[in-house]
Amino acid sequence: MADVVTREKPRRRKSPVERRDEIVEAASRLAIGDGLGAVTAKRVAQDLGVVPGLVTHYFSSIDDLVAAAFVLAAARERDELYASARAAAPTSVAGQLGALLDSYVDPGRDTISLLWLDAWQDSRRRPALADAVEGQMLLDYDALAELIEEGIVSDGLLVPDPREAAVSVMALVDGLSIRAAVRDRIDYAPVVEVFTETASRLLGLAR
């Protein structure tokens, strides 16, 4: 009986869009795990098992890759937070807002909080990152303001200016980010209580 020759299927060449997305995904993982400073062409290439030249082919400026990595992480977290909030209280916008506040003080957010701290610091010397940080902050304001507006219509929330309330609440969230860096050394429990009470008042929630 003749030997059967098994031929390997030729590997499909990834499109430029697929390759770029793959690079940004790898960079985002590095940023979340080791900080934005870990995002280099060499580290990303090692993660993907490719040569650094492939990374620089798509991102000639490492600052652009850092910005893209941050945007992916921040946008993904926002999507996950809001999806989780809607799932927690599908028929109550007030309940969704309450679930969001609970998520914002969850220690499970420490990795993304540290990434934001990194981004605010590094944006002083990375213009592309500064633009990305501003853009993501504005999108955070928009998402929360939109949910507040829904709550005014559906749940009768008494919030005079949804946009102003959204900016104020997110500023409080940003202020809590420092806990991620010093959680094991300083007890922020009283601060969390103040955050919850203040944010609830701003959102017209009875907590």
Measured distance CA(25)–CA(60) in Å, rounded: 17
Q: What is the pLDDT of residues 107-158, one digit of tens each?
A: 999 999 999 999 999 999 999 999 999 999 999 999 999 999 999 999 999 9
d(CA 18, CA 44): 15
Q: Which amino acid is at 99?
A: A
pLDDT band for 9, please (50, 70, 90 cuts).
low
Q: How far apart are alpha carbons 85 and 17 in whole angstroms?
A: 31
Segment 42-56 shows an average pLDDT of 96
CATH number (domain holding residue 169): 1.10.357.10
Distances (CA, A) of 174 to 35, 80, 179: 18, 18, 10
Nearest to 180 by CA among 118, 113, 101: 113
User: What sign has the CA pseudo-torsion 106, 119, 76, 83?
Assistant: positive
pLDDT of 186 reads 86
| Nearest Cα to Cα of residue 45 among 32, 33, 58, 64 | 58
Q: DSSP state, 38?
A: G
Stretch 27-54: mean pLDDT: 96
The answer to whether residue 124 sits within a structural domain is yes
pLDDT at 201 over 60: yes
Q: Give the pLDDT of residue 185.
A: 87
pLDDT of residue 189: 87
pLDDT (0 to 100) of residue 204: 95
- Per the prediction, the chain carries an average pLDDT of 93
Q: What pLDDT, on the 0 to 100 scale, is given for residue 187?
A: 86
Q: How far is CA 129 from the centre of its chain?
A: 14
- Dihedral angle at the C-alpha atoms of 58, 125, 109, 77, nearest 10 degrees? -40
Amino acid 14: pLDDT: 81
- Confirm whether 50 is domain-assigned: no
Has residue 14 been placed in a domain? no
Report yes or no on 61 lying in a domain. no
**Residue 134 confidence (pLDDT):** 98
Instruction: Flag whether 12 is in a domain.
Output: no
Q: Is residue 10 part of a domain?
A: no
pLDDT in the model for residue 48: 96
pTM of the model: 0.90
Tell me whether residue 51 is in a domain: no
How many domains does the chain divide into? 1
Give the structural domain span for 111.
70-202
User: Looking at the domain assignment, is residue 9 inside a domain?
Assistant: no
What percent of the chain has pLDDT above 90? Answer: 85
- Beta carbons within 8 Å of 112's beta carbon, 6+ residues apart: 32, 73, 74, 77
Determine the average pLDDT of the residues in 29-37.
96
Tens of pLDDT, residues 144-176: 999 999 999 999 999 999 999 999 999 999 999
